[in-house]
Amino acid sequence: MRPVLYLNASVHADGGPGRTADALAVVGGRVVAVGDADEVTEAFPRVRRVDLLGLPVFPGFIDAHIHVVGYGLGLLQVELREARSLAGALRLIAAAERRGGPGEWLQGRGWDKNGWPEDRFPTRYDLDAVTGDRPAVCTSKDGHLLWVNTAALRAAGITRDTPDPPGGAISRDAAGEPDGLLKEDATLLVRRVIPAPSPETLEQAAVAAQADAHRLGLTGAHAFVGPGAEGPDQFGVLHRLRARGALTLRIVACVPDRLLDAAAASGLRTGLGDEVLRVGPLKIFADGTLGSQTASMLAPFDGQPGNVGIMVRTPGEIDDLVRRGLAAGLWSAVHAIGDRANRNVLDVFARHREASHRAGARHRIEHVQVLHPDDLPRLAALGVTASMQPIHATADRDAAERYWGARCRYAYAWRSLAASGAVLAFGSDAPVETPDPWRGLYAAVTRRREGDPRPSWYPNECLSLHDAIRAYTAGPAYAAGTEVWQGALAPGMVADFVVLDRDPYDGGPEDLLRVSVLATVVGGRVVHSGGALRGLDGVS
C-alpha cells in the first residue's frame, strides 16, 4: 500500500467542531501525521498527494449494534417496513408470492402493527389468504415476533397441544388454536425448520451489507446475531471473507449465549483476532421488546393490566451466563429494553464487579430503552457501556407514549446517561432500522423523526452533535477495547475516515439529513467513492 498525503482537507480529528488540521499522512494503513500542510509535506516530500478540495474529513463511523449478515439477508427478502397497514403488507406479500418458485419458503421482514390503522396483530388467517399452501414467515420490525401462515405452523409441527417454550409464547385464538403469531423464543420452533441459506447466500448477504455500510460512511461494526438464519455460521462467513481479502468493514463479531460452551471449549475470547475481524462479547437476551409488548417491566404496560412482559432469561440465568463468560474470557453484552430487565442486568453486573474489573471486562447493555430513575446512575458507577440506537427513540415515540406513559421521561435517556459519566456507543440495530448514521445523528440531536412536525420528544435528552458523533466513533471503540487504534484520527491510529460533501456543523440539524459521503477509507484503502472524488479509486 503506497504512502499517501491528503492535502487541502478540513480534518476533524476527534469528530468535534472546527478544523484541527488540513493535512493527513497515511503509511501502511495507519495515520502517521495530522497537522499543518507545510509541515506534513516537508516531513513526507516524496509520497503520492491527493487534493481533498477543502472538504471535511471525519473519523470513520462505527455501528455498535448491527446484524450484518441478517441485514444483508433482509435485502433479499420482502421488505415490509414501509407498509402502512396490514392490507398494504398483504399486498406486498401477495406480489412476492407470485414471483416465488414452487416449494420455496416466502420470507419477509419489517412489519410493525403499531403503525397500522387496523391496530391489531396479524394472524395466519390473514397470511393464508395470499400465500395458500406455500410456507410463509414474516419477521416483525423488532425481530422478536414471527407472523406465519398455516403451512409454516404445519411444517414446524405446532398445534393446539404444543406448549409455550421457556422464554416464549405461542399466541392462540379464542378456540385455543395457534393463530400464527410467535413471540420471543417461540419463534425458534419455526426458524429451525426453515431451509438454511447456503454458505454462498450468506456470503452474498454479508458483502451486500458491507457495501451499503461503506456507502453510508461506516468503517466498523459490532455484529450481533439474531435467532434466524444468520446464526451459528456468522463468524465462519466473515472469516471466509477475511481470508480472501473481501472483508473491508472492521467487525467485532459477538457470540450468542447459546454457543457459550462451544466458544469456551474452542478458546474463543473477547479480543481474539485482528484489526479486521475479532471476537466480541457474549450476547445475552434479558427480555423482549417494546413493539411486541414483551419487554420486562417493573409495572404493567399502560392499558394492558397484568402484562409485565417476558423474561427471556431469568436473573439467575443471566448471572450464570455472565459468570461462565468471564471464566472463558468473554465480556457480556445484554439486551435489556424494559426497566425491570435493565435493573436485573445491573444487579448481575454489580455482583460480578470485582471479577470483571480483574479481567478488564467492559460489559455493556444493549438498547437501555427505559430505566427506573434509581438505576440511571448505576451504568457509570459499574463501568457499563450504554449501547443505544438513537433512531429507536424517534421510531418508537408513539408506542412508548402509549405503553409506557410517564415512564418515557427516562426512556432513551442519552443526555442523562452521558451526564452521569456513562460511555455511549451508538448503532442502528439494522435491519430493525436503517444503518444510516446520519439519520441516527439527526435523531440524537433533535429527538424527532425526519418529517415529523411535532416538537422534540423530551428535548432535555437531546445530545450535542459532537457528543453524538463521539458515540458513533470513540464510544464503540471503547466498548470493544480498541480505542488505542480506532475511533479518532491521530498518529498510530488506523486510517479509517470519511470525506463529506459538507461540514455537519454548518447549518441546522435538518442539514444532517443532506450530508453525502464522498469517500470512505478503511486502513488507507478507499472502499467507497463517488462524485467529485471518484479519482480516489486508485488509492489502495
pLDDT per residue over 283-305, tens digit each? 999 999 998 899 999 999 999 99
Fold for domain 4-60+489-538?
Urease, subunit C; domain 1 (2.30.40)
- DSSP class of residue 202 equals H
More confident residue, 112 or 119: 112
- pLDDT score of 535: 53
Distance CA 57, CA 70 (A): 30
Helices H / strands E in the chain, number of each: 18, 23
Residue for cell digits 472524488? 533
- pLDDT score of 219: 98
Are the C-beta atoms of 499 and 53 separated by less than 8 Å?
no
pLDDT more than 70, % of the chain: 96
Distance CA 366, CA 303 (A): 26
Are the C-beta atoms of 128 and 136 separated by less than 8 Å?
no
Q: Order across the sheet with 250-256: list the strands.
A: 61-66, 218-223, 250-256, 277-285, 332-336, 364-367, 385-388, 424-426
Q: Check pLDDT > 70 for residue 103.
A: no
| Assigned architecture for domain 70-191 | Roll (3.10)
Lowest mean pLDDT among 25-34, 284-293, 397-406, 523-532: 523-532
Q: How confident is the model at residue 534 (pLDDT cuts 50, 70, 90)?
A: low
Q: How confident is the model at residue 25 (pLDDT cuts 50, 70, 90)?
A: very high
- pLDDT score of 119: 83
Q: What is the pTM of this model?
A: 0.85
More confident residue, 349 or 46: 349
Q: Report the SS3 class of residue 90.
A: helix
Q: How confident is the model at residue 231 (pLDDT cuts 50, 70, 90)?
A: low
Stretch (H or E) spanning 200? helix 199-215
Of 94-103, 476-485, 529-538, highest mean pLDDT: 476-485
Dihedrals φ, ψ of 509, to 5°?
A: -55, -35
Q: How confident is the model at residue 99 (pLDDT cuts 50, 70, 90)?
A: confident
Portions of the chain given CATH number 3.10.310.70: 70-191
Q: How confident is the model at residue 540 (pLDDT cuts 50, 70, 90)?
A: very low
Sign of the torsion angle spanned by Cα atoms 416, 422, 427, 429:
negative
Q: Check pLDDT > 70 for residue 536.
A: no
* Tens digit of each residue's pLDDT (9 = 90 or more) over 434-478: 999 999 999 999 999 999 999 999 999 999 999 999 999 999 999
- pLDDT score of 352: 98
- pLDDT score of 200: 87
- In whole numbers, what is the pLDDT of the chain averaged over residues? 93
Arithmetic mean of pLDDT, 27-38: 96
Q: Check pLDDT > 50 for residue 358.
A: yes
* Tens digit of each residue's pLDDT (9 = 90 or more) over 178-190: 999 999 999 999 9
* Tens digit of each residue's pLDDT (9 = 90 or more) over 310-346: 999 999 999 999 999 999 999 999 999 999 999 999 9
Distance CA 528, CA 176 (A): 54
Give me 279's grid cell.
471476537
Q: Check pLDDT > 90 for residue 214.
A: yes
Arithmetic mean of pLDDT, 378-393: 98
Please confirm whether the linkage preceding 165 is cis (ω < 30° from 0): no
Arithmetic mean of pLDDT, 203-218: 95
Arithmetic mean of pLDDT, 259-276: 95
Portions of the chain given CATH number 2.30.40.10: 4-60+489-538
Q: Check pLDDT > 90 for residue 385.
A: yes
